[in-house]
Amino acid sequence: MKKKKRNSAGSLILAAFAVLMIFFLIACGGIAGDLKNSEELLNYRNAEASIVYSEDGKLLGKYFYENRTNIPLGKIPKHLVNALIATEDVRFYEHKGYDARSFFRVIVKTLLMNRKSSGGGSTITQQLAKNMFGRRKSGLFPVVRSKLTEIIMARRLEKVFSKDEILNLYLNTVSFGENVYGIEAASGRFFDKSVESLSIEESAVLVGMLKANTLYNPRLHPENSRERRNVVLKQMEKYGYLKKEIADSLIKLPLVIHYNRTGASGSADYFLVQVRNELSGILADIEQSTGKKWDPGRDGLIITTTLNGTLQQFALSAFREHLSKMQGLLDAQYNNSTGKKILSQLAQRELDRLNLKERSKDRIIQEVFSWKGIYVDSLTVADSLLSSLKLLHAGLLAMDPVTGAVKAWVGGIDFKTQPYDQVLARRQMASVFKPVIYAAALEDGMEPCQYLDNDSVQLSGFNDWSPENYDHSYGGKYSLSGALAHSMNIPTFSLFLKLGFEKVDSMWHRLGFSFPLDNTPSLAMGTAEASLKEVAAAYAAFANGGFVVEPYYIRTVKTVSGEEIYTAASAGERKRIITERSCLLMNAMLQKAVREGTGITVKTVYGVDIPLAGKTGTSQDYSDAWFAAFNPGIVIVTRVGASSRAVHFNNGSLGSGSALALPLVALTLKKAQQDPVLRKQLYSEFPVLPPELSGMLDCPDFKEKNLFDKIIDIFENKEKTYPGREREIENRIRNFVRRIFKKKQQ
């Protein structure tokens, strides 16, 4: 019997040897091209993700082909290394690249005896060789050839690198699924922390994933992950890395992860697109000047941006708090027969435009945005359109008005399902356009206490078009400052007629707007189109004393070794576009709009106490709501509206700029002023008006017309032809009346 057992064992050994020889002969012919020499091994470097940070050190995202952040072994906890060795390669410090005992076990038990549960035979060094250079998937017996290649490469790696260096390389190359490579990236993904801070049980979860990163993914398969974690902890106990009582206590713990998908759906995804665009230009300039080419997808650059991560989070919180409520109210408005009919007609029109009418009943599985959370649903094309038509979209941009550094950028409600950036979208400006007209008036020498007509006007030649005030009032006169603070349309139109189109158009272009203006009466009501970015840059000129400013996003770019290859240039000589006098008066007028006018709820309802000037805007039929606010330290602008102008609130109590847009700014600033660091940055006082300007706003906003005004009204033709002869008629009558009164006085 013993002799038979010895013969059987001998047969297995001979068979194993024969298999090895066959493998060797088959593989030797094809592995030469796969082998790397010592120099190639020493020069090997992982593709490493470039990391983007906010100015206050918060991780915003990454640019990568493989999501990887290399980390030195000294920052990796000892218990994680112990878990790795106990589970993957217990004789790691004894072998020289491959473990003969493990390899022979695989040959005999796995290949000859077909026991698939007997375990793998690859050492950590062999796995590193596979991670570094991959495996061939073609040719004769590719697995055999790859295995032999890995053994030879493992031997070479052991000669070139120390054991610690091999461990470090391995932990920085190994895949954890989800396009995550390396232990630091995995720690950030599954536990939202650096690897240095991992606990023993968390390290065991990550090491457990190495056996099968999908099967043991703690997000996808928590039970599998917990069981595998406990296997790792038992292995650590078995090989003396953990005491039994500690291992037993850790095994009883529930599986807890803090999943963080930064880089795929983070806090500043819209902003990261702008950073990437600016970075491309920066790196192109560096290559042109130095000849050195940098690749953000593999060179591990460290990009520090201008964005303030805390302010960004406050803005996102304001979006969730306010827009979720307003979306519910808009849904309710359209949840009746009239609303459904309007949406259905719009959807049919859109289906026709996209040539999708025949496919309107086709179902598609898609991710659907909801303020309660994104969900997957199977919707017909028509239903998908109906759902998207009701969505309220919004954007918010905050920037430093002096330097142009962008401090917050919220491009929409959800980057993944709604990627179009609302900060760059061009929409009708409504009353946020009015400061362009009033700035032109101040530059023309007019003063805040000059009065403007508030009489109803009809224009022949334009279908008897007539401007109307928001409250439908008319009569009397408004001062420039009163008309702007209360966003009066008729006085603003009167001012537009006095100035003429050319002066307004000149101011428009000086402020940096790109969309050409149409010389039409409705221009005074804000029919011009602009993006949030353009509005913020224009209002920055008011805040900084009259200078042009260009928004920018990147402060510094460093290499993985810490070498600084780019620093944003400090502002040089600035180009003045508005006089200091006009800016001081404009700031005073727009502070009045926040203190007493359409922006008053910023302080009275939301309790924002930092100094602010600002302007609301509400486009026709409440299609778009705007609010722009600023002081010498910050400009913050937002706009809210559905994708189609036909979808909107049906009243001003919900759809006006002060109701729909202003709260986004107010809630953001309310949170910001409670943060000591941000409050110090944002609490910036306006310059005090010099003596020659200090009394220029000391007049009533509104006054009834006096006898002189009424005499002018009698002589003046109310049927105005645009742009009209109002100024000429007024001057003639004024001079005539003055001559009469002068003669009486003599």
- Band (pLDDT 50/70/90 cuts) for residue 691 is very high
Q: Per-residue confidence at 160, pLDDT binned at 50, 70, 90?
A: confident
Q: What pLDDT digit, counting tens, does each position of 626-656 carry?
A: 999 999 999 999 999 999 999 999 999 999 9
Long-range CB contacts (< 8 A, 24+ apart) of 190-196? 190/218, 190/219, 190/257, 190/258, 190/259, 190/260, 191/257, 191/258, 192/258, 192/259, 192/260, 193/258, 194/71, 194/75, 195/71, 195/75, 195/76, 195/77, 195/80, 196/75, 196/76, 196/77
User: 215 with 94: CB under 8 angstroms?
Assistant: no
At 364, the pLDDT band (50, 70, 90 cuts) reads confident
Burial class (CB within 10 angstroms; exposed 0-12, middle 13-18, buried 19+) of 564: exposed
pLDDT band at 362 (very low <50, low <70, confident <90, very high): confident
Confidence of residue 465 (pLDDT cuts 50, 70, 90): confident
Q: pLDDT value at position 126?
A: 85
What residues form DSSP beta bridges with 190?
none
What values do phi and psi take at 181, rounded to 5? -125, 135
Which residues contact residue 654 at a Cβ distance below 8 angstroms, ignoring those fewer than 6 apart?
A: 326, 329, 330, 622, 660
Tell me the torsion sign for CA atoms 423, 424, 429, 435. positive
Which comes out higher in pLDDT, residue 149 or 226?
A: 226
Helix ranges restricted to H, 256-318: 269-290, 309-318
Q: What pLDDT does residue 16 have?
A: 57
Q: What mean pLDDT do residues 550-559 have?
A: 97
For residues 52 and 717, the model is more confident at 52
Query: Which residue in 205, 188, 207 sits closest to 197, CA to CA?
Result: 188
CB 166 within 8 A of CB 213: no
Residue 20: exposure state from Cβ atoms within 10 A (0-12, 13-18, ≥19): middle
Report residue 613 as tokens: 């000037």
pLDDT band at 721 (very low <50, low <70, confident <90, very high): very low
pLDDT band per the 50, 70, 90 thresholds, residue 119: very low
Condensed to tens digits (0 to 9), the pLDDT of residues 574-588 reads 999 999 999 999 999
Residue 213 has pLDDT above 70, yes or no: yes
pLDDT computed for residue 140 by the predictor: 44
Per residue in 413-454, pLDDT tens?
999 899 999 999 999 999 999 999 999 999 999 999 999 999
User: Which residue is listed with tokens 């049980």?
Assistant: 201
Contact (CB, 8 A) for 23 and 148 = yes
Per the DSSP assignment, residues forming a β-bridge with 615 are 628
> What tens digit of pLDDT does each residue of 278-299 get?
999 999 999 999 999 999 988 8
3-state secondary structure of 441: helix
What is the tens place of the pLDDT at every residue in 307-319?
A: 999 999 999 999 9
Q: What percent of the chain has pLDDT over 70?
A: 81
pLDDT for 58: 92
Q: Are strands 719-721 and 458-460 parallel, antiparallel or unpaired?
A: parallel
Tokens 């944003």 label which residue?
568
Lowest mean pLDDT of 1-15, 500-514, 608-622, 624-638, name the range.
1-15
720 has pLDDT over 80: no
Half-sphere exposure in the Cβ direction for 583 (13 Å, CA): 23
Check: CB of residue 575 under 8 Å from CB of residue 548. Answer: yes
Residue 113 CB burial class (10 angstroms; 0-12, 13-18, ≥19): exposed
pLDDT(110) > 50: no
- ∠ CA 221-226-231, nearest 5°, is 125
Rounded Cα distance between 482 and 473, Å, is 14
CA distance 431 to 433: 5
Is pLDDT above 50 for 206? yes
The whole-angstrom separation of Cα 595 and Cα 574 is 31
Task: Provide the pLDDT confidence category of residue 548 given band limits of 50, 70 and 90.
Answer: very high
